[in-house]
């Protein structure tokens, strides 16, 4: 069953850059932006990562961590992070456990051929581990600003 808005996210463990194994519960106590992208190193995925990188300090200033995830190998994720200088970790979800928990595997069409792939999606998880917002079928341009606005709203609601 995919996680729905208002539900606590599952505590999934996933290999990550930097030789780590990250559990989603590691982020309790702060908000988490978890974004899924189709393939490391492709133009749209690179731009999305660069946009999140450029705003990383803004996210951190409102107590929010960022994680990127795809089905790429850990080696591909390490290379992607190193080449682009991302200040956040990337998850290598080769067994699709994380992708399935957030229902981001979709039937896609490219040049008339159908295949299963990752739908570009972003999830905002609050400090208690509850899914608060989701964006599916993301268009990269302007997306990070939209997510940052939602994070700021979430942060201001917690202070009220």
pTM metric for this prediction: 0.94
The tokens for 42 are: 């492709």
Q: Is the pLDDT of residue 107 over 90?
A: no
Q: Is the pLDDT of residue 160 over 70?
A: no
Catalytic residues: 45
Cα(56)–Cα(144) distance, integer angstroms: 10
Q: What's residue 106's pLDDT?
A: 86
Q: What's residue 1's pLDDT?
A: 63
Find out whether 134 and 121 touch, Cβ atoms under 8 Å: yes
Instruction: Write the pLDDT tens digit of every residue in 24-67.
Output: 999 999 999 999 999 999 999 999 999 999 999 999 999 999 99
Buried b (16+ CB within 10 A) or exposed e, 130-149: ebbbbbeebebeebbeebbe
Instruction: Write the pLDDT tens digit of every residue in 109-146.
Output: 778 888 888 999 999 999 999 999 999 999 999 999 99
Q: What's residue 117's pLDDT?
A: 86
Domains in the chain, CATH or no CATH each: 13-159 (3.40.30.10)
Q: What's residue 96's pLDDT?
A: 95
Cα(75)–Cα(95) distance, integer angstroms: 15
Q: What's residue 159's pLDDT?
A: 59
Which of 85-89, 108-112, 145-149 is least confident? Answer: 108-112
Strand extents, DSSP E, the chain = 13-16, 20-23, 31-36, 64-70, 89-92, 105-110, 113-118, 121-125, 131-136
């Amino acid at each position: 069953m995919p996680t729905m808005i208002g539900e606590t996210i599952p505590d999934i463990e996933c290999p990550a850059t930097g030789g780590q194994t990250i559990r989603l519960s590691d982020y309790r106590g702060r908000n988490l932006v978890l974004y899924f992208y189709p393939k490391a190193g492709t133009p749209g995925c690179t731009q999305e990562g660069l946009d999140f990188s450029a705003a990383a300090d803004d996210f951190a200033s409102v107590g929010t961590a960022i994680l990127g995830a795809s089905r790429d190998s850990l080696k591909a994720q390490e290379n992607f992070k190193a080449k682009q200088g991302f200040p956040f970790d990337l998850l290598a979800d080769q067994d699709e456990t994380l992708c399935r928990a957030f229902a981001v595997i979709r039937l896609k069409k490219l040049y008339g051929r159908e295949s299963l792939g990752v739908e570009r999606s972003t999830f905002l998880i609050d400090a208690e581990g509850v899914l608060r917002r989701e964006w599916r079928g993301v268009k990269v341009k302007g997306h990070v600003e939209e997510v940052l606005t939602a994070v700021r709203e979430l942060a201001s609601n917690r202070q009220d």
